[in-house]
A and B are shown apart, each in its own frame.
Chain A
């Protein structure tokens, strides 16, 4: 459901903050510095960064492919090693049984069980293949709004952090009240703030 798909699901953010001079150069350098780093060949648990919208394996942006007219077009990629809860539980129980038999004790202390859980989780996380997720973004530099192709608030939080880290600018989700404040004349703002629901009956 990304930018070039047949249909798209998105929200709108407003970009807040001062844009630096030589913006395109600044943007290219900052995107490169926050490009996605692959974790397939190491044991990292989580990786987040920018890739090209056309290809999730392209984090080089040859010929400044993030620059499209007056827009910056990017994908935010998140790879994460996750262990499903049922698998973690199974291996923990198995290990607890093994330790109890080995030490010939009927019960393990809470501390010992937590210790087992931690080490099993670490072992399974290292074995898990990173799960990829890609979310497209389109930044209109003329009116400083961003279309972002996900409606998940968890993903929004990750985007806000990465965007701040990359460009030093804040994103403000354009829920109706915020959108209204941008559409109205500043003199109408107190009236908007004081507005209460109407009854349609």
Chain B
């Protein structure tokens, strides 16, 4: 399969993951226990884009608002739409990352890394530049590692017999929003 076919045929994979992540973050008040890492926080905020159907039946809705006001997005879920894009806050220990994740292709947009002490240093000396680059890259990679681990958690569940039980819980969660 080439890339265009994979994107079209498996578009649901990332969207389902992001929708599941929203469910997962809500049932434990934003905390998710990651194997090998521990509790991290995942909070959905402000901006969401939901999609449904393909071709001429393709529909999408964009919702903006504070966390408590995502009513339209919740209604969208009940109409069978899935999350295509969301602004999320990932927290681990003292660090916090903000990013907009485009689910069908895994575009990481407007990713904000945690503020650190070294960020203030603005020297153009090669050693200082290298240190700044390494720190920034490290922070981006830590965010990706969290996304990877969340995705792995979802995939292992998705491919196991446990998924049926999880699906029941997700459906209850979707219905509870009425």
B-binding residues in A (CB < 8 A): 1, 3-4, 6-12, 53-54, 63, 65, 68-69, 71, 73, 138, 140, 147, 151, 172-180, 183-184, 188, 191-192, 195-201
Interface centre among B3, B112, B156 (most CB of A within 10 A): B3
Please state if B6 and A199 are interface contacts (CB–CB under 8 Å). Answer: no
Could you tell me the distance in whole angstroms from the C-beta of B167 to the nearest C-beta in chain A? 6
Chain B contacts for A191, CB-based, 8 A: 159
Chain A contacts for B111, CB-based, 8 A: 7-10
Residue from the list B77, B98, B133, B158 in contact with A4, Cβ < 8 A: B133
What mask results when residues 94 to 138 of chain B are scored 1 for a CB within 8 Å of chain A, else 0? Answer: 000010001111111111100000000000101001101110110
Chain B contacts for A147, CB-based, 8 A: 137, 140, 144
Q: Does B39 contact A (CB under 8 A)?
A: no
| 17 A–B contacts from the bound complex (CB under 8 Å) | A7-B98, A7-B112, A8-B110, A10-B108, A68-B133, A68-B134, A69-B130, A69-B134, A138-B137, A140-B137, A173-B3, A174-B106, A175-B106, A176-B105, A195-B158, A196-B12, A200-B16
Chain A contacts for B12, CB-based, 8 A: 196-197
Chain B contacts for A172, CB-based, 8 A: 3
- The 10 A-B residue pairs whose C-beta atoms are closest, nearest first, are A176-B14, A197-B12, A177-B10, A151-B107, A176-B13, A9-B109, A7-B112, A183-B152, A7-B110, A191-B159
Q: Does B78 contact A (CB under 8 A)?
A: yes
**Closest chain B residue to A197 by CB distance?**
B12
**Closest chain B residue to A147 by CB distance?**
B140
Q: Does B82 contact A (CB under 8 A)?
A: yes
**Closest chain A residue to B132 by CB distance?**
A4
Complex Cα spacing A82 to B107, Å: 28
Chain B contacts for A179, CB-based, 8 A: 106, 148, 151
**Closest chain B residue to A3 by CB distance?**
B136
Could you tell me the distance in whole angstroms from the C-beta of B174 to the nearest C-beta in chain A? 6
Interface residues of B in 1-44 (CB under 8 A from A): 3, 6-7, 10, 12-14, 16-17, 19
Could you tell me the distance in whole angstroms from the C-beta of B11 to the nearest C-beta in chain A? 9
